[in-house]
Structure 1
Amino acid sequence: MEEKNMNEEKVASFSEFLSLIKSTNLNKGLFIFAVVLTLFGTVGGLIVPLLTQTFIDGFNTSMITTPILVAIILVFLGSAIIDGFAYYLLGRVGQTVIQGLREVIWDKFLKLPVSYFDQTKSGESVSRIVSDTSIIKDLITSHFPNLISGLLTIVGSIVILFILDWKMTLIMFIALPIGIAVVLPLGRRMGKVSKRLQDETATFTGNTQETLSEIRLMKSYTGEKYERVQGRKGIKELYKYGMKEVKIQALISPIMSTIMMTVIISVIGYGGIRVADGTLTIGTMVAFLLLLFQVMMPMTMFAMFFTEYNKALGATDRIIGILKLDDEMTKEVVPEIPFNTIQFHNVDFSYVEGTPVLHDVNITLNKNEKCAFVGPSGSGKSTIFALIERYYELDGGKITIDGVDVLDIPISMLRGNIGYVAQESAIISGTILDNITYGLDKDSYTMDDVNYAIERSYAKSFIDALEDGVHTEVGERGVKLSGGQRQRIGIARAFLKDPKILMLDEATASLDSQSERFVQEALDQLMQNRTVLIIAHRLSTVVNSDILYFLENGKITGRGTHQELMENHEMYRTFTEQQFGES
């Protein structure tokens, strides 16, 4: 069954490969110039056998003069320099193409909806932009220049071979159909195996990245044994498909060597007979053999090129698959919106078809009102935030801001007016300053603005205590900072952004009492004069909200002030009594 599935693996066509390369704005002029230089370099290499023939057949000491020696040396040096420069230019073209291709893929990743990343491990996406493009890069920068040079060498050599002796040249062509008949099916097989290998590499990369990013979880729960087993499973899969590649290459190499040896022996045998009966000179025989080697050496390289070409087609198919995905829907026309009031109109939503997460949700959120969402875990509170930011498309109903459907608001404008502080603020590798200013244009703020945000977020005291201040490196995901410090940096980021809509998702839930006090004071400052949405399991943080929405199984089952819900909503009253009773 596995073999059958592997045989059905799709690879891209040559036309799709060319279209992908053209999309990177290939410098055709530079490419053609490099090919022309390769042609000149090849001509220099073809002169050598003819000079050899001349020396052997008509050698005498009077032929060795200084001008002739200088000319021969210049031909050799010129040919080598031209070859090297042509190879450099072709390599530069290839590197430029891959740079453009990686930029296209990266830009595409940034435009894809959140739902794509929900379904795809980040390591797999990284594999597409690194591993798959590297395969195409190797084809263009290494194998393709050799192909061009080899083709020109073969064509020039064959022309000269026919001129020297057409009968001996025909012997060489006997083996050509055999080589093609063997290499083509093996090359196609190699492409399919390579595609599966790249898929397994992407999966393994994703799993490895996930494990290493959660290394503390693994160690604290002594998950080394489990991860060892899972990691070795992935490594064995890579080994299995790697060995399939090795087996195919092990077939191609001896087959091509056998064909080459057969041709050489046949030519030497036939040529020896011709030299013995006087119909062929020794010089011509030697020149013929030299030219024959110039034909045979690229033929071996062609077999490798063909396997790499099929690998590149497999990589191309995966890249095209990503480029064909739909971007996030956005508008270019910018409406006039003050971003004061958010409304949900009969909103239905599900992450998986047939499993509703929100059903018939109707809510209104106004500026200068603190609106809180409460309810049991899994009731859909965080989903409401995700839908406001348009991370997902609705199944039914609509969401409006000041009467304008969010689908008609450019995404950059929508999200540019939303500030989000999560239970654990996301921190990137870099400095504290990098994190506070993340996503903002450098000309949109000053250091005075940054310092103001730091002060308002109650982050100044701990930042000033650091040796490098705002230029302190925080480590991957902010591991060098405490939870409270990370939260205050996240709040400083929101202050600097100065959003019209502020969403707080359990922003103080994971903090100790001292950190919570600092963070809550910062949040109180941040919430002023905005449309504020809060998710909280601890009701003590939201009892003073202007309006609370209680969610159960994706439905709004209660709305009102804390007092109104205490009087009219049994489950809310139970939640409140449980929490305050425990305290």
Structure 2
Amino acid sequence: MTTKNSKVRRFVGLMMETDPPKALLAVAAALSVVTTLVSLTIPLFTKNLVNGFSFGSLGSGQIAWLAVAFIAQVVSGGVSVYLLHYGGNKIVSSIRERLWSKLLKLPVPYYDNKSSGDTISRLTNDTVVLKSLITEHTTGFFNGILSIIGALGILFYMNWQMTLLMLIVFPVAALVMVPIGRGMYKVSMSTQEENARFASVVNRVVSEIRLVKASGSEPAEFEQGQTGIRNLFRFGLKEARMHALISPIVTFIVLLLLVSLIGFGGVQVSSGAMTAGELVAFMMYLFQIMLPITQISQFFTQFQKAMGATESIIGIMESEEEAQDKGLAVKEIGQTLKVERVSFAYKPDEPILKDVSMTIEAGKVTALVGPSGSGKTTLFSLLERFYDPTSGSIKLGAMDIRDASLRSWRRQIGYVSQESPIIAGTIKQNLCYGLDREASRAEMEQAARMAYADGFIEELPDGYDTEVGERGIKLSGGQRQRIAIARALLRDPQLLMLDEATSNLDSKSEEVVQDALKNLMVGRTTVVIAHRLSTVVDADSIVFMEKGVITGVGTHEQLYASHAMYREFANGQLRMNKSA
């Protein structure tokens, strides 16, 4: 269990790792102290003014000093606030950069176990909590303490009896306020968590709005969102009840204190033990104590939130990341790939691949065929090194691919899936996405021609500068696939991986995409996943998989003659093609 002290140390450590602008923050703190000290002198000037009831009682020097004090307070206060916000934003910007960099380096399994809304909340909401603490509450806390100590010292010097009377009230107030403050903290933490959950629901629905509408799931999603909204409303009511308790109690305490001090002070003034100016100054110092107490209580509430946010951020920072540049650089994949006795499971008791061995010949086409759930896509994920085998190895020649640097390995791979991802942006940005070089217009046009994408691109209003919409929604399925193929051609990969790249297309689009794929496959080591045997009958080697096990390897003719399940698979497809 993390102790409070260790939480504070982790928070301070996180701040120091950002290399904060210490000199700038020191200047901001010094100016803030000047502002507080100047504010402590103003009641003394007011006392002399009240005692004389005229400006005549003040000398020109005193008036000048009063003017200087006001100007100094305004200038130092304004500059310190700006510098503090500058420093705070710089710290938070550094944390966000580190967090964003970390999120990009985390492996795929991390995201398998986290909702996107929760991850986004860490990057946005949690860092805002830290910024609020640094820029708004920290100086208020330290200046509040300075203001309270300074004001109490002056008050004891002015009238120790009234000061003691005033101090009796604060412990009583603390007995009431501390439990309420703890309750407020619990509510605020619950609200943060519910906000993250609600953001996750909204993010999922908005990103998949077409699926929601096509499935008629609006009522179900409304119900789920409504649950989050109602929970937030419930937490808001709890917070309102806390405020409803705090506000009257604070008002009662302030009024009680004011009435007591004014009554006691009036007696002192009438007896001559105290002047009217001193009473006014005393009351002004009282407010210089009470306002900082509010700031200090707000600081502790925000500090508790920041501790929770820090734990979440550090939890991400401490997650194991992919070592993208560690290992041997892979210049080319011109050798045979061997999968040797590979087993893999996402969960220990649910194996997906079981002792799989196969050979992927360099420069040839290897097809993976089998029913859904047989482990084909999982094998692709292992080849891309999204995951490492639970046991066994995948070797390029004599080298285990785990010994290769991730960045150089993945640069050799071109991947085209059945729903090729398209980013929001222009066609040009999509074609060049992930390239480590600047592609020329001629290269893009050549890739588009080979992918049979040049025709529809030229017909678009802005050609290669046409916006495709979020996830390429303005393009058809066939157009998206051809953009993905053109992107792979520009990447010029050594190893090509095709995951049912034509399964979602109509027959006309499929024919065009198949021709584009043939252009893409020339001279490359190719691994294909396909449900339609028509796309792989000419493969150099077909691997049949069932429930994570390879049950047959050979050409189409060999498997058709020797493998009963493959023959049934092929006949079923032939019947479907005839009926179509």
Structure 1 position 401 matched with structure 2 position 389: no
- Aligned residue runs from structure 1 range 459-538, under 5 A: 459-538=453-532
2:118 paired residue among 114, 124, 127: 124
Equivalent in the alignment of 2:34 = 40
CA contact (8 A) 1:427 1:478 kept: yes
Report the TM-score, using the length of structure 2 for normalisation: 0.94
CA contact (8 A) 1:194 1:314 kept: no
Distance 1:268 1:59, change over 3 A: closer
1:376 paired residue among 360, 371, 379: 371
The residue type paired with residue 430 of structure 2 is N
2:286 paired residue among 263, 283, 292: 292
- Aligned residue runs from structure 1 range 323-334, under 5 A: 323-330=317-324, 332-334=326-328
The residue type paired with residue 413 of structure 1 is S
1:438 paired residue among 418, 433, 450: 433
Task: State the 1:511 CA deviation.
Answer: 1.2
- TM-superposition CA deviations, 1:223-250 (whole Å, max 9, x none): 2221221211121122222333333333
Equivalent in the alignment of 1:221 = 215
Distance 1:152 1:523, change over 3 A: same
Structure 1 position 268 matched with structure 2 position 249: no
Provide structure 2 residue ranges, at least 5 long, that are not aligned to the other structure: none
1:549 paired residue among 537, 543, 547: 543
**Which has the higher mean CA deviation after the structures are superposed, 269-278 or 123-132?**
269-278
CA contact (8 A) 2:496 2:526 kept: yes
1:421 paired residue among 416, 420, 431: 416
The residue type paired with residue 120 of structure 1 is K
Following superposition, which runs of at least 4 residues in structure 1 exceed 6 angstroms of deviation? 8-12
Task: State the 1:463 CA deviation.
Answer: 0.8
3-state SS in 2 of match to 1:399: strand
CA contact (8 A) 1:422 1:505 kept: yes
Report the TM-score, using the length of structure 1 for normalisation: 0.94
Distance 1:540 1:38, change over 3 A: same
Equivalent in the alignment of 1:566 = 560
Structure 1 position 247 matched with structure 2 position 247: no
Task: State the 1:444 CA deviation.
Answer: 4.3
CA contact (8 A) 1:188 1:310 kept: no
Distance 1:182 1:90, change over 3 A: farther
Task: State the 1:71 CA deviation.
Answer: 4.2
1-side partners of 2:327 and 2:576: how far apart? 53
1-side partners of 2:209 and 2:55: how far apart? 77
2-side partners of 1:457 and 1:102: how far apart? 39
**Which has the higher mean CA deviation after the structures are superposed, 280-289 or 179-188?**
179-188
CA contact (8 A) 2:332 2:412 kept: no
CA contact (8 A) 1:87 1:145 kept: no
**Which has the higher mean CA deviation after the structures are superposed, 47-56 or 552-561?**
47-56
CA contact (8 A) 1:191 1:314 kept: no
**Which has the higher mean CA deviation after the structures are superposed, 413-422 or 217-226?**
217-226
1-side partners of 2:146 and 2:211: how far apart? 58
Structure 1 position 233 matched with structure 2 position 227: yes
Equivalent in the alignment of 2:347 = 352
- TM-superposition CA deviations, 1:345-364 (whole Å, max 9, x none): 11111112201100000011
Percent sequence identity over matched residues?
A: 43
CA contact (8 A) 1:10 1:314 kept: no
Size of the alignment, in residue pairs?
A: 575
The residue type paired with residue 174 of structure 1 is I
- TM-superposition CA deviations, 1:487-544 (whole Å, max 9, x none): 1111111111111111000111111222212211111111112111000000000000
1-side partners of 2:241 and 2:307: how far apart? 20
- TM-superposition CA deviations, 1:387-435 (whole Å, max 9, x none): 1111123211112223222221111112111110000110111111111
Provide structure 1 residue ranges, at least 5 long, that are not aligned to the other structure: 1-7
Task: State the 1:336 CA deviation.
Answer: 5.2
Task: State the 1:580 CA deviation.
Answer: 1.1
1-side partners of 2:2 and 2:31: how far apart? 39
Distance 1:318 1:99, change over 3 A: same
